[in-house]
Chains A and B, each alone.
Chain A
């Protein structure tokens, strides 16, 4: 149904980010918390719009912008994710001397990018959404300006990111050249009509996979991830590890769902994704074993999770992919908030050896971090277990047994490095005494929201799963 209200979720976020820019100029304050609250207000409005549009099937711009249920669910998820990131940033920004009002504005711009990506099936629009996301991300990575590592992160992300965007647009050009369309469904229909084995088609899809592979950080396109994650301000790292990845997978779902469903000769691309998935799981987990810095460790863990998510794409199991993304958002943002909690003025504790004895010193932080790490490793009764369980069982029912075996073995490896953090927290004597700033109410709120999310999705995912199943059932493939 063509309706101008379709624009509402994006317009609310856009208004919020522009208003933040203006307020920053006119209201000078020592801390910029109030800008965070302004952003949160607009996120609530946008989220409310998403909720009320459920079941309406609005679209605009001749279907270029189409809020189907999947788009609405993911948009809501991203809005919640960004709200959590804003909450954990408030205190962090003044503690780490990164007090720029533009921070919130750029964060909202990045969110707009993801919203655009998930609500369209036109590759050009998806590409532009990705660019909006990337441009804001490059700047966000470099915001800790008194830290050299942050500048390095921004530069690396920018150079490699532009490279990946070039691959992506090149791939889109190839697909347009063969099918005269940039719309996913007409491209697929065209390939169904003619042979899908043309070299241009393979080249086009290959380049698309490289471009998105970079954004969702699958091996061998993952080189940037640890450095960028380590250098960026920690809330931004949490953002990077969740939203761009989830948006990228949403696009892969929309692209490869119909592709694997309708094209009979899709083995080539299938095998490519198969190998990417295996490489990502194995290399991501093995490299994580050697990490001494918690942010780098979580970076490699997020690479490994991209591998598990890829299994869901290969198993054509859309609901398990979306469910995994939902759980992943809560557990990863939760883990990063616990990392942020261990900081004080101008100092973050990021080395593994700093974590010795945390479990007894700050029992709440230790306990929540342990639960998030166990969830990332996939222990029941957390959400991480159910997410992996759904993905693996769907893959088995699609006869992808070797892939599942590798996936399970890889997650066994991952247990080691997740548990090592917990061992440090509870079983090592603290080497150097240190103090952290515990007066951080928004962060505690986020820790509890994420904890609730992880436990709720692990023990009783019923309602959420129902919505996810509705969302993927409405897809036309």
Chain B
């Protein structure tokens, strides 16, 4: 059952990513990306990591995609690249793609094998994660709060009304 689910989710995921690249309309691409995120969430679920699975769907498929769609709404969707520019991009990108595939094959051959050990049941549960956050990873967790407030202050000061003294 697990391997059947794995195969299905993977195929849908790869198909969705392909669709994301191939669709001309950015809105369809965004929808495909959501599908891909949901499938990745499912894959995490299969790996005994329910928390990451849910977070994947809530954060990526939910919050981040909303931002994407906002951006697509604001920019002009129909205006693509001009044909000359496209040709200019085409050959380098084919070259880069070939190199990247070569690298992938190399790495998979040399370094990555199928992992025999599955994460233990407890590892991905929210309870364990929460406990880790407040014990072992307390310091990074606290730094994150500084990070967020710095980003918040920065963003607000940059979009504040201009004529304030």
Residues of chain A within 8 A (CB-CB) of B153 are 21, 102, 105-106, 109, 136, 139
With contacts A132-B147, A199-B107, A199-B110 known, is A138 near B139, CB below 8 A? no
A118-133 interface with B by 8 A CB criterion? 122, 124-125, 128-129, 131-132
Interface size on A, residues (CB 8 A): 40
- Quote the shortest CB–CB distance from B133 to chain A (angstroms): 12
Q: Which of B18-26, B73-81, B117-125, B154-162 contacts A (4 or more CB under 8 A)?
A: B154-162
A59 to B15, CA, bound (A): 50
Q: Is A139's CB under 8 angstroms from B140's CB? A: no
Q: Is A106's CB under 8 angstroms from B146's CB? A: no
Cross-chain contact of B157 among A102, A124, A131 (Cβ < 8 A): A102
A343 within 8 A of B: no
CB closest residue in chain B, given A102? B157
CB closest residue in chain B, given A132? B147
Cross-chain contact of B139 among A18, A113, A125, A143 (Cβ < 8 A): A125
Interface size on B, residues (CB 8 A): 25
B165 within 8 A of A: yes
- Quote the shortest CB–CB distance from A211 to chain B (angstroms): 17
Residues of chain A within 8 A (CB-CB) of B156 are 102
Q: Is A128's CB under 8 angstroms from B147's CB? A: yes
With contacts A106-B150, A154-B158 known, is A61 near B107, CB below 8 A? no
B64 within 8 A of A: no
B104-148 interface with A by 8 A CB criterion? 106-107, 110-111, 136-140, 143-144, 146-147
Q: Is A198's CB under 8 angstroms from B111's CB? A: yes
A411-461 interface with B by 8 A CB criterion? none
- Quote the shortest CB–CB distance from A196 to chain B (angstroms): 14
With contacts A105-B153, A139-B153, A199-B106 known, is A145 near B139, CB below 8 A? no
CB closest residue in chain B, given A154? B158
A14 within 8 A of B: yes
A289 to B137, CA, bound (A): 48
A1 to B19, CA, bound (A): 56
CB closest residue in chain A, given B164? A100
A273 within 8 A of B: no
A148 within 8 A of B: no
Residues of chain A within 8 A (CB-CB) of B162 are 145-146
Q: Give 5 nearest A-B pairs by CB, closest first.
A: A139-B154, A61-B139, A109-B150, A102-B157, A128-B143
Q: Which residues of B contact A (CB under 8 A)?
A: 106-107, 110-111, 136-140, 143-144, 146-147, 149-151, 153-158, 160, 162, 165
User: 15 A–B contact pairs at CB < 8 A?
Assistant: A62-B136, A102-B156, A109-B146, A122-B140, A128-B143, A128-B144, A129-B143, A136-B154, A139-B150, A140-B154, A142-B158, A145-B162, A199-B110, A199-B111, A203-B107
